[in-house]
Structure 1
């Protein structure tokens, strides 16, 4: 199966059969993402004063500010919401199938893998729904949530509306015969050899109604669920990635209908998933269905991005690396098994090492721990056990890693205060807004506020000031951090080498 080989193949392979294909002339073209106006960042409450601050003269805002405490970077992985390494439990060909093991045993081994922070499931629509108005989850879905709770991890998932690797279709049987199927043809490039591929008519009333009902049911359970990290956006086409490559055209009568249908599907999802981030594929609009518009709406609604290969089209790399700093991004790229990886070295660099190096180049918040269509703990460990350095290095840098590098103490008009010089040792911005609280020894709030969304940025110091009641002693206080995403706050740990309290807070004390 050559799922993503269209990157280097001709776009002329295959013709759709049995319908008339229309190519829209008003298609939204790709654009350069660097400096593009996607609108304002998400709104925050209680914005902290982030400077500039002055130390001297009658107009000093932080008179006599003196560095009283510093922190240094941690070199270990830090598990926080909005970042991490994603262990794949199930992809488009199903969950692990390991001889001599039960499904529970295989999934538990993967869930226990210490390098993983998130457990990921990709299933077909028919896997979770057998009849209208009711969801019926498969065993590996329930086991994944069970193991996530057991091992202190979270879950992400995708529901595929269409897949080339199953028979007959991804949509449930109760829609077969109600929703027209358009014949795409056969190909040796993807999917089951010899399979005749069909596309459901997405704009058909029965399909749209059933899709909306399914998403309503799913979001009722999992929107804001304590264990859910993010949900992949349901898009048109194979694997829900926004295309039906290698077949030309699409099953819509014209581009306007295609884009309108995909927008309607996306708008329904963002209306349902108000607390949990949706993650939209950056796939170029090969099939002329309005992907550029869906991506634009993803950013403007403060949802996130994903791509399914790192060696991919120029436009996907541009989107990922130039996205707004408050937008998260997950990269899916299968790792070779140890046996295969040993045969893929060029100029002394193996395929896996090359992948991991390029992952860092686009500053993602997540990366997949995945043996493409060959999922098992043994396959992951086969490579990682012999070559831990590349993945360990990525795990210790991925996402955002925030610490107060400098802490200044000052007093103004009899009121003591602190200025934090916040640093991000990770490779991405904060995919939301960093919220900081300063609490006393009894846990009472003394001062709090939010940083601008996305900040601090990697490689830059972002300062913030706090003022306290008179006679407050700064070295009796602690720093607490949270990240706010789509209006929900999640407690996070500081990424410093200094010792933290059990709840992840940092006790303030003079150490310089």
Structure 2
């Protein structure tokens, strides 16, 4: 008969409520193509069609930044706003404000550049210096009173300039550790793959797919992923209308996003988000907090949060602009609290043990529990810092630990620490690698920690005999 020499060093319980960690959180839009709001469906529609580009004041943004549920600052703008000339970016005022806020607050951010938007101030989103170089395709659009709007045709000339834009953006931002992801864009209205509108002389309402869509999407998806070598890129699920999108879901770990939760979201989309590849993040747009009666579910607020959590969510957006974020914090904190309780991954060392194995070597056994609704979107490294000053690290499988995973991980003690007792401690930390960026991870534990990134336990020595026959006083007291 063999009696295992083992003792539990510490237990940690699940954290309640809101927490910030890399690769997850609540989106707060700093700037978008929906810089408007309305307090019912009719008002929202009226402002969307007549004045969707309300000017943002710095004091409004500052007010939003003081609010708690603003984990990832999101920026969405037209191509013509970010580039005014060949070979050079134009950083608009609102983006400067965002970058300043990121530097000062430690928040993360993300962005999308739109090749086309129904809400553009002009009748297209292309920079002025390219107006005469690119072929433009018309569609009828009543937003902003344009009547006829345009998006660029997917020609070789267009793709050349779009890739130049990607290189400019990556040169400026890919090394930024606070940039968590970039949306894949460049195809369809808002860059989301939509081509609906009234087309042709008969003004028929249809979704006009590009004849070279497969080639274009393959190139755009590949280009974003290649050019942003360090930053994850997120693909809209609308690209699943094409084989290029299906291939990306099946053969890559690209992040995925849905521009809204709708009743016609398909089985294939469900499978992509509910059973994602390890390391993939799932992003959801958006709840419009001030509008309650929109039907069917399209940006509606009632019962929508639970759908996100049921399917899996690393990110959820609240509102399209700072005014809606402020409104939600004032009048709908319950929505935020429901999201914050389960969104993303929430990892804790539920049990930490010390064991002496058959070779008389000491081992640290850590049971990692994920109390969130999704797996971590990358690869975690667990590190134990021992009293001798030596660290022992273990890289976990990508995406581990999964939700409700009960797997344990074993880290060997350095020989110098075999004799350590309860007067000394081991300290555990986590790091998450997402593509080419590495971030420290906070422990999602209820117990107060002096440092949210460090969970410590006393190195109690296991007893040498049968634990059932060992008086409790033989064990070193934990406190």
- Name the counterpart of 1:452: 397
Paired position in structure 2 for 1:159:
113
Work out which of the residue numbers 199, 204, 214 in structure 1 matches 2:156. 204
Counterparts of 2:55 and 2:184 in 1: how far apart (Å)?
33
Is 1:283 aligned to 2:238, yes or no? yes
Alignment of 1:93-492 (within 5 A): 93-94=34-35, 103-166=57-120, 167-183=122-138, 185-186=139-140, 191-193=143-145, 195-205=147-157, 207-246=158-197, 248=206, 250=208, 252=210, 254=211, 257-283=212-238, 290=242, 292-297=243-248, 300-312=251-263, 313-314=265-266, 315-337=268-290, 340-341=291-292, 351-370=300-319, 372=320, 375-377=321-323, 379-412=324-357, 413-441=359-387, 444-472=389-417, 473=420, 475-492=424-441
Where 1:429 maps in the other structure, the secondary structure is coil
Distance 1:264 1:165, change over 3 A: same
List per-residue Cα deviations over 1:451-471 (Å, max 9, x = no partner).
111111112212110111225
Q: Which 5+ residue runs of structure 1 have no aligned equivalent?
A: 1-55
Q: Is the 8 A contact 2:78 2:116 kept in 1?
A: yes
Alpha carbons of structure 1 residues 172 and 239: separation in structure 2 relative to 1, 3 Å: same
Instruction: Give the whole-Å Cα distance in 2 for the aligned partners of 1:317 and 1:331.
Output: 13
Which aligned runs of 4 or more in structure 1 are off by greater than 6 angstroms? 95-98
How far off is 1:251 after superposition? 6.8
Could you say if the C-alpha distance between residues 92 and 441 of structure 1 is closer, same or farther in structure 2, counting changes exceeding 3 Å? Answer: farther
Does the 8 A contact of 1:415 with 1:469 survive in 2?
no
Q: Is the 8 A contact 1:83 1:366 kept in 2?
A: yes
Deviations 1:356-382 (A, max 9, x none): 121211111001021x4xx334x4343
Residue 285 of structure 1 deviates from its aligned partner by 5.0
Query: Given that residues 279 and 306 in structure 1 are in contact (C-alpha distance below 8 angstroms), is that contact kept between their aligned partners in structure 2?
Result: yes
Which of the two has greater strand per residue? 2
After TM superposition, give the deviation of residue 300 of structure 1 in Å.
Answer: 3.5
TM-score for the superposition, normalised by structure 2:
0.83
Task: Pick closer, same or farther for the CA change 1:298–1:212 going to 2, 3 Å.
Answer: farther
Q: Name the CA distance, whole Å, in 2 between partners of 1:123 and 1:181.
A: 19
Q: 1:319 to 1:460 in 2, by over 3 A?
A: same
Residues 443 and 455, structure 2, Cα contact 8 Å, conserved in 1: yes
The whole-number CA distance in structure 2 between the counterparts of 1:345 and 1:214 is 38
Verify the 8 A CA contact 1:89 1:95 in the aligned structure 2.
Answer: no
Q: CA 1:149 to 1:214, structure 2 compared with 1: closer, same or farther past 3 Å?
A: same
**Partner secondary structure for residue 358 of structure 1:** helix
Where 2:88 maps in the other structure, the secondary structure is: coil
Query: What TM-score do you get using the length of structure 1 for normalisation?
Result: 0.78
Q: Could you say what the CA RMSD is over the residues aligned between the two structures, in angstroms? A: 2.9
Q: Distance in 2 between matches of 1:485 and 1:445?
A: 26
Structure 1 residue 194 displacement after superposition: 5.3
Matched-pair contact (CA < 8 Å) for 1:199–1:251:
no
- The number of aligned residues is 431
Please name the residue that 2:29 is paired with. Answer: 88
Aligned residue among 64, 69, 85 for 2:5:
64
